[in-house]
Amino acid sequence: MKRIAIQALGLQKWFGDGEARTLAVQDVSLDVNFGEMLYIVGPSGSGKTTLLSMISGILRPNAGSVAIEGCDLWSMSNDGLAELRLNRIGFVFQDFHLFPRLTTAENVAIPLILRHEPWQASIEKALVYLKKVGLESRADLPPVKLSGGEQQRVAIARAMIGTPDILVLDEPTASLDGDTGRNIVSFIKNELLTPQRTVVIVTHDARIYEFASRVVNMEDGRIVGISEGASRA
Amino acid sequence: MRSLMNGTFILAFKLLVNDRAKFQALVGGITFSTFLIVQMTSLFAGILSRASSTVLNVGAKVWVMDPAVNTVSSSIGLPDYVLDFVRSIEGVSYAVPLYSGGALVKLNNGTYQPVTIIGLDDDTLYGRPALEQGSIEDLYADDGFVVVNDAEYSKLGSPPLKAQMQINDHRAVIVGVARVASSGLNGVPTLYTTYKRAISYVPSTRFTTAYILVEPKQASDIAAIKAQVASLGYLAVTNDEFVSKVSNWFMYQTGAGTNMMLMAVISFIVGLSISGQTFYTFILENESKFGALKAIGMKGSELVKMILFQAIFTALTGLGLGVGLCTLMIFIARLRLPDYAAKVTYENLLIAFLMVLIIAGVSSYIGVRRVLRIEPFDIFRG
């Protein structure tokens, strides 16, 4: 039986006021299950990233609700939300947002440091995760010395080090070449996706659709279709 | 050190110092500002300290003077009955006159050197300096004078014991070399002698007593002594009060205090401009990273602590370097110019610390306002 990780009901989000008001997401309801790799796809401006932000506790909706394992996300305080994101959600941003002044290992260790775990223990655990993504030898280098693919893997290691049960990736292959992108998503599917974890990916890169369990198609802020992916959970 | 520090602070530290150019600009700005502030205030403190040198060196518990006296050297002669009156006050253990005036010394090479003459009470020699050579009793010998071995000593040709000179065409013999706590402000050497000899060597006005030095029976008697002296139309102050009176005059009546304050404020503005702007640029450049931290799960309060830590660490580093640099400069200046009056006091350091703290506070406030406005969603939007 499928266990629901994220349940979104009647989500609406608009930006601006009056005549300048733009409806980004309209009446979207969606269930995301553990053990699946869900893609949110659609053209630019279709509301994918806005939806992803709302279901991951980043952006407050104007209407509707989001529950993570039954816990209403948007009734929580800002600090409560921050704590939830830190402990349960791993983020991989489109531009990676790695700190150029820190070493690769220190970048990976950030979620643990934010959890107030000891510095040295966090770095040691970061080395373990760097090994998992094949970058142990790059641990002491700053991220700017790494290739795009390597930086993406560092970002993934950072997202995974806190062992989140929800992994959120925003356009993970946007700045990677075709092979590297496929390898990254393949790695996520084979190494990181487990029955206790869900992976939500926003993308419009058709080259990686084959790894999806389900694909949510969006247009003009609405879900226009949900299809089973080539790789069903 | 790491185990003592919270990981968030280590993170903040690394983000700050690893951006070397910004960190150097930040520290440089605060160092420069601190240097100027400490330099200005220590120079002023040195001047104030020297302006009160006679008060500090004589060290009487209570000084009686004309209320119009502003500085030690601008004494106004006291009539003899004031001394008698003070001696008759109930709480006074003893009271002695002190002479203070200027004279010209003719040196052996024929040139003249102005000096300050301090005339000590003949019976007690109250207020005498500590001697490093000679014996104080020799002051009673014919034409005996004690010369102070301070920064001005060399202006008299560093005279040894038994050296002779002319003071206002009178013969003077050096019978002792003294060391005092503080050199004078006027840049002239100081000679001690007895009261009677002083007034016979130096042309005087009708009243020759510059100050009356009072030893109260008990500290609690000082208030009553002050009241009694005031009833006669004169002023009695403690040693510390006299120093404050002189300081206040220099600070508020001469314009030196205003100038010093202006310079300190300008230094503060320079430091604030450089540091505030650089810190703001640092925040702007790292805005997306701070947003990423927020998205990952860092609380707003933790971000504020992180920025405050960065600002305070920078400020304290700059403060330390600035104070060190200023102290080094004063040390080097003293090697070349023994008269250089600058003096770093705890008050100077406190002023610099407070100003640097304000710089850190304002810089971090600007940064914090910016960072708290960052929406994690902006990170997703790019």
Is A109 inside any structural domain?
Answer: yes
Q: Where are the domains of chain B?
A: 2-50+255-381, 79-233
Is A171 inside any structural domain?
Answer: yes
Provide the token pair at B322: 């600035």
Note the maximum CA span of chain A.
Answer: 54
Is A23 inside any structural domain?
Answer: no
Q: What residues of chain A lie within 8 A of the CB of B375, using their CB?
A: 59
> What does the pLDDT look like over A101-127, one tens digit per residue?
999 999 999 999 999 999 999 999 999
Q: Cβ separation of B296 and A83 shorter than 8 Å?
A: no
Q: Count of domains in chain A? A: 1
What pLDDT does A169 receive?
A: 92
Q: Cβ separation of B380 and A49 shorter than 8 Å?
A: yes
B18, B291, B299: residue with CB nearest A82:
B299
What ipTM goes with this model?
0.88
The whole-angstrom separation of Cα A37 and Cα B103 is: 99
Judging by beta carbons within 10 Å of its beta carbon (0-12, 13-18, 19+), is residue B361 exposed, middle or buried? Answer: middle
Q: Cβ separation of A114 and B8 shorter than 8 Å?
A: yes
What pLDDT does B4 receive?
A: 44
Neighbours of A121 (CB within 10 A): 13
Task: Mention every residue, 6+ apart, whose C-beta is less than 8 A from residue A147.
Answer: none
**DSSP one-letter code for B209:** B
Judging by beta carbons within 10 Å of its beta carbon (0-12, 13-18, 19+), is residue A91 exposed, middle or buried? Answer: buried
Chain B touched by A86 (CB under 8 Å) = yes
Alpha carbon B380 to its chain centroid, in Å, reads: 58
For residues B355 and B322, is the Cβ–Cβ distance under 8 A? no
Closest CA in chain B for residue A93 = B380
CA-based nearest residue to B41, from B341, B336, B244:
B341
* DSSP-assigned beta bridge partners for residue B235: B65
B288, B300, B380: residue with CB nearest A58:
B380
Is A28 inside any structural domain?
Answer: no
Q: Cβ separation of B297 and A120 shorter than 8 Å?
A: no
Chain A touched by B298 (CB under 8 Å) = yes
For residues A159 and A91, is the Cβ–Cβ distance under 8 A? yes
What does the pLDDT average to over B249-263? 83
Q: Cβ separation of B380 and A113 shorter than 8 Å?
A: no
The CA distance from A44 to the nearest CA of chain B, in Å, is 11
Is A50 inside any structural domain?
Answer: no
Is A160 inside any structural domain?
Answer: yes
> What does the pLDDT look like over A31-80, one tens digit per residue?
999 999 999 999 988 999 999 999 999 999 999 999 998 899 989 998 99
> What does the pLDDT look like over A220-231, one tens digit per residue?
999 999 988 766
The CA distance from A191 to the nearest CA of chain B, in Å, is 22
Chain B touched by A174 (CB under 8 Å) = no
SS3 A225: strand
pLDDT, averaged across chain B: 88
Provide the token pair at B245: 């009176």
Is A208 inside any structural domain?
Answer: yes
What pLDDT does B180 receive?
A: 80
Residue B274 clears pLDDT 60, i.e. is over it: yes
Chain A touched by B173 (CB under 8 Å) = no
Q: What residues of chain A lie within 8 A of the CB of B301, using their CB?
A: 79
Is A21 inside any structural domain?
Answer: no
The CA distance from B370 to the nearest CA of chain A, in Å, is 18
Closest CA in chain B for residue A113 = B7
Q: Cβ separation of B15 and A101 shorter than 8 Å?
A: yes
> What does the pLDDT look like over B64-74, one tens digit per residue?
999 999 888 88
What's A208's domain CATH number? 3.40.50.300
**Residue range(s) defining the domain that contains residue A213:** 35-44+77-228
Residue A233 clears pLDDT 80, i.e. is over it: no
Residue B26 clears pLDDT 70, i.e. is over it: yes
Q: Band of the pLDDT at B381, cuts 50, 70, 90?
A: low
Residue with the bigger pLDDT between A8 and B110: it is: A8
Which DSSP string do the residues of B175-194 spell out, in sequence order? EEEEE-SS--SSS--EEEEE
